[in-house]
Structure 1
Amino acid sequence: MASVKVFLEGEQDTVDLGRRLAQIISPPLTVNLSGELGAGKTTLSRGLIQALGHHGTVKSPTYAIVEPYELENIDLFHFDLYRLSDPEELEYMGIRDYFTDKSVCIVEWPDRGHGLMPIADISITMKYVGTGRDVEITSGTPQGQALLSKFK
């Protein structure tokens, strides 16, 4: 599997990384975002979602678990599984229905849905380094590998 490493100085770099990813992604795609609280997962998601055409705020779906965005030719679903107490809760909300040929699914805290989430095409791990972030983007599928080969 392919991987790319990036260092982000601050919030604007994090938004810009989301914008860069938006230029090369297409459905169906699953993106996992991992990192400590406050590492920038939602900020990166905001850059990606707005670059794909959403005009408005992008809030963390921590309480709702999923925030849908209907964009041109893409059904985008932003998940935050942080408050999930049991992965089985995902079955009750019909989790499989979100992952379609027309969807891009961004999943924060994917480890909380262990066993019920599909394999991510790309996984992004964000780690604190001083006031910046080390980011590693890895592919988990052939589609993810093709996507990373386009990443500059």
Structure 2
Amino acid sequence: MHNPDVTAVFELPDEAATQAVGEKLAPALKPGMVVFLEGDLGVGKTTLSRALIQALGHAGPVKSPTYSLVEVYVISSLYLYHFDFYRFESPEEFLDAGFDEYFNDAALCLVEWPERAQGCLPPADLRLRLYHAGVGRVLEAVADSPEGQACLDALIPAMGAANS
């Protein structure tokens, strides 16, 4: 049984399906948006992020920001910040690092482990929750703003998701 606030559910039987979500979601994302990527270790948050960043036009490698906390990508005129707060001991580390300055109308922010900076982060436009499901994954997508809903409105027909 899925949560009632879930806008769409995507079955992801393999890594290629996870990559397809990133590729199909990328064109709908706009500067000023915040996307949370939630889920346990190894569910595909970085895989989805990598596919999304490459689909936006980044040609080089896409590293996990687990140790650096943030990786910065400038793609045409878009500033994309990929955060990973797994190593945070407390949410205040977000403010101490000055990361609040990265969240602005000109930037697209992807945030892995947003719960580790809870109370300090701006609200998400889109929350992507990944879960293990047998050998595959399930992605529950939640739109928390009109911009997030517009992304899902573009993604749902492209992926054949089941609306909740």
Deviation, 1:97, is: 0.9
Aligned residue number for residue 162 of structure 2: none
Deviation, 1:23, is: 1.8
Residue 46 of structure 2 corresponds to residue 77 of structure 1: no
1:30·1:105 contact (CA, 8 Å) conserved in 2? Answer: yes
Distance across 2 between alignment mates of 1:2 and 1:133: 16
Distance across 2 between alignment mates of 1:53 and 1:71: 6
Residue 105 of structure 2 corresponds to residue 101 of structure 1: yes
Distance across 2 between alignment mates of 1:149 and 1:51: 18
Deviation, 1:25, is: 1.2
Aligned residue number for residue 133 of structure 1: 137
Aligned residue number for residue 120 of structure 1: 124
Distance across 1 between alignment mates of 2:93 and 2:72: 18
The alignment's C-alpha RMSD in Å is 1.1
Structure 2 counterpart of 1:67, which letter? E
Residue 153 of structure 2 corresponds to residue 149 of structure 1: yes
- Aligned to 2:124, what secondary structure does the other structure show? coil
Aligned length: 152
2:143·2:149 contact (CA, 8 Å) conserved in 1? Answer: yes
Distance across 1 between alignment mates of 2:52 and 2:150: 18
- Aligned to 1:18, what secondary structure does the other structure show? helix
2:36·2:112 contact (CA, 8 Å) conserved in 1? Answer: yes
Runs of 4+ in 1 over 2 A off after TM superposition: none
1:2·1:148 contact (CA, 8 Å) conserved in 2? Answer: no
Deviation, 1:138, is: 0.6
Gaps of 5+ in 2: 158-164
Identical pairs, percent:
45
Distance across 1 between alignment mates of 2:126 and 2:112: 12
Q: What is the TM-score normalised by the length of structure 2?
A: 0.89
1:2·1:145 contact (CA, 8 Å) conserved in 2? Answer: no
Distance across 2 between alignment mates of 1:23 and 1:5: 19
Gaps of 5+ in 1: none
Deviation, 1:2, is: 6.5
Deviation, 1:150, is: 2.1
Aligned residue number for residue 26 of structure 2: 22
Q: What is the TM-score normalised by the length of structure 1?
A: 0.96
2:28·2:150 contact (CA, 8 Å) conserved in 1? Answer: no
- Aligned to 2:101, what secondary structure does the other structure show? helix
2:6·2:140 contact (CA, 8 Å) conserved in 1? Answer: no
Aligned residue number for residue 55 of structure 1: 59
Distance across 2 between alignment mates of 1:2 and 1:23: 22
